[in-house]
């Protein structure tokens, strides 16, 4: 009888306690100065990332992620959860009827915008590093989606309502929510072509587009509809006590994400679809649009994911790139999105002004979505270059868009002179859980 005992690497309780303490402490401190940060050139993701760098193996050596196991698996799970909650919050932020009134606008921004951003990013990467075109295509697709986690710092809250008109805030919110899930099909195409497994194109169309993405949208809508209708009927029948929007949102988001992953569908796009239909079904007087709830949903996950990101940055690989590292960040931030959005103006039928498009074109941060797709790719192909270049762009985007978000929003407000409606007074609540459905 074989009595050999196999030991698997686990996170020691001391390391877990240290990480939990650091993450929670920073979340508490940022909560104390949240409104101040909204009116400054420093964003929460920037601070969290900086904290991760300081606590990591290259500075204070307080936390060593290498002891926890594979950073790819850790980041895959945490980024997926973070994106899901950000998408749920974004879906609740978009007004009812927005998509119906702006279907052509969002179709152009999401579909043509994604293709343009991916193409330009691919060319930039190839020109700088001379990598194989398929690998450049893969990395270009990974950094294409607008990150809803980072974007929320400029499109939500009282400061955003004062400085930016609704058409800009809602355009960025919906686009960032939609293209995060849609980017899955774009990323899978070069990945399948690199792997060269059987009938690549038919697999991509039938499995990736129709089942995983299309099925994810349909199942997300169905689950969100059923859950929301059941909630409304249960409350009307007196079967349940008052329920927090935060609790409902978390439960719905995690259920859709986990359920769709079990049937091999795109859980990310499904979460956004579920949140969007839930926002339509639940009444406005049920506080579904209270931004404190949305912000709490996002911040619970945003701070930890960027601390984790700061802990695992590949500094040595970046230094090995030399001047090309800086050139990549500058070229991607300047040319990946802004020229594409401005070029789409003739197709938008004056729905957005040139100033609107300039702001939307600049503020398309690369963040948690790119982290997720990068580590998702690493599960299939062991190309460290994918992580090195993707993490570099995310690092640069977090800093640059964090610094410029408030400045450019204020400049837009002063330049256009467009008066913004005064924020509506909100009822006072003792805590986030006092918001009920």
Using one digit for the tens of pLDDT, what is the confidence trace for 123-178?
999 999 999 999 999 999 999 999 888 888 788 777 788 889 999 999 999 999 99
Using the structure block, give the residue that is written with the tokens 């990310």: 268
Q: Which of 163-177, 343-357, 389-403, 407-421 is predicted most confidently?
A: 389-403
pTM of full prediction above 0.85: yes
DSSP per position, 76-104: HHHHHHHHHHHHHHHHHHSPTTHHHHTHH
101 vs 337 pLDDT, higher one: 337
The sign of the torsion formed by the CA atoms of 144, 382, 319, 190 equals negative
Tokens coding 398: 């977090």
Among 64-73, 110-119, 186-195, 378-387, the minimum mean pLDDT is found in 64-73
Find which of 32-46, 122-136, 180-194 is predicted with most confidence, using mean pLDDT.
Answer: 122-136
Pull the structure tokens for residue 2. 């074989």
Instruction: Give residue-wise pLDDT tens across range 199-256.
Output: 788 889 989 999 999 999 999 999 999 999 998 888 888 777 665 677 788 889 999 9
**428, two tokens:** 């006072």
Q: Which two tokens stand for residue 58?
A: 């290259």
Taking a C-beta distance cutoff of 8 angstroms, is the pair 306, 262 a contact? no
**Residue partners of 103: CB distance under 8 A and separation at least 6:** none
For helices 44-55 and 13-32, give the axis angle rounded to 10 degrees: 150
Q: Which one, of 64, 174, 42, lies nearest residue 108 by Cα?
A: 174
Asked whether the predicted pLDDT for residue 43 surpasses 60, the reply is yes
Helix ranges restricted to H, 94-165: 98-101, 103-107, 113-129, 133-142, 148-155, 158-163
Beta-carbon contacts of residue 399 (< 8 Å; ≥ 6 apart): 46
Q: Predicted confidence band at 358 (pLDDT cuts at 50, 70, 90)?
A: very high
Question: Distance (Å, rounded) from C-alpha 248 to C-alpha 231?
Answer: 9
């Amino acid at each position: 009888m074989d009595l050999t005992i196999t030991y698997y690497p686990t996170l020691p309780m001391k390391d877990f306690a240290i990480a939990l303490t650091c993450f929670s402490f920073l979340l508490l401190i940022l909560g104390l100065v949240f409104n101040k940060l909204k009116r400054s050139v420093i964003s929460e993701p920037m601070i969290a990332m900086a904290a991760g760098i300081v606590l990591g193996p290259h500075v204070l050596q307080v936390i060593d992620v290498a002891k926890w196991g594979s950073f790819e698996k850790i980041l895959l799970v945490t980024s997926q959860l973070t994106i899901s909650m950000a998408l749920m919050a974004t879906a609740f932020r978009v007004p009812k009827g927005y998509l119906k009134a702006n279907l052509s606008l969002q179709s152009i921004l999401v579909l043509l915008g994604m293709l343009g951003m991916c193409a330009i990013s691919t060319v930039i990467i190839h020109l700088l590093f001379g990598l194989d075109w398929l690998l450049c295509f893969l990395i270009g697709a990974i950094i294409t989606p607008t990150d809803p986690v980072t974007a929320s710092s400029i499109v939500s809250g009282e400061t955003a309502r004062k400085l930016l008109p609704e058409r800009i805030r809602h355009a960025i919110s919906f686009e960032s929510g939609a293209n995060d899930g849609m980017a899955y099909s774009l990323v899978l195409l070069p990945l399948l072509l690199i792997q060269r497994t059987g009938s690549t194109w038919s697999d991509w169309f039938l499995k990736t587009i129709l089942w995983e993405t299309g099925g994810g949208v349909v199942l997300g809508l169905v689950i969100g509809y059923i859950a929301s209708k059941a909630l409304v009927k249960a409350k009307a029948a007196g079967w349940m006590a008052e329920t927090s929007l935060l609790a409902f949102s978390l439960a719905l988001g995690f259920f859709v994400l986990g359920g769709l992953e079990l049937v091999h569908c795109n859980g990310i796009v499904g979460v956004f679809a579920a949140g969007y239909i839930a926002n339509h079904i639940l009444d406005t007087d049920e506080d579904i649009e209270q931004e404190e709830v949305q912000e709490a949903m996002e911040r619970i996950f945003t701070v930890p994911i960027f601390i984790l990101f700061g802990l695992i940055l590949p500094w040595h690989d970046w230094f090995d790139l030399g001047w090309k590292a800086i050139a990549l960040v500058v070229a991607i931030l300047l040319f990946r999105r802004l020229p594409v959005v401005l070029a789409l103006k003739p197709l938008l039928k004056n729905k957005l002004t040139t100033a609107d498009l300039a702001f939307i074109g600049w503020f398309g941060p690369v963040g948690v979505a790119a982290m997720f797709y990068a580590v998702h790719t690493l599960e299939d192909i062991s190309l460290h270059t994918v992580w090195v270049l993707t993490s570099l762009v995310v690092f640069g985007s977090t800093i640059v868009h964090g610094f410029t978000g408030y400045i450019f929003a204020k400049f837009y407000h002063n330049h256009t002179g467009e008066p913004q409606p005064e924020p509506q007074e909100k009822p006072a609540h003792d805590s986030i859980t006092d918001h009920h459905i």
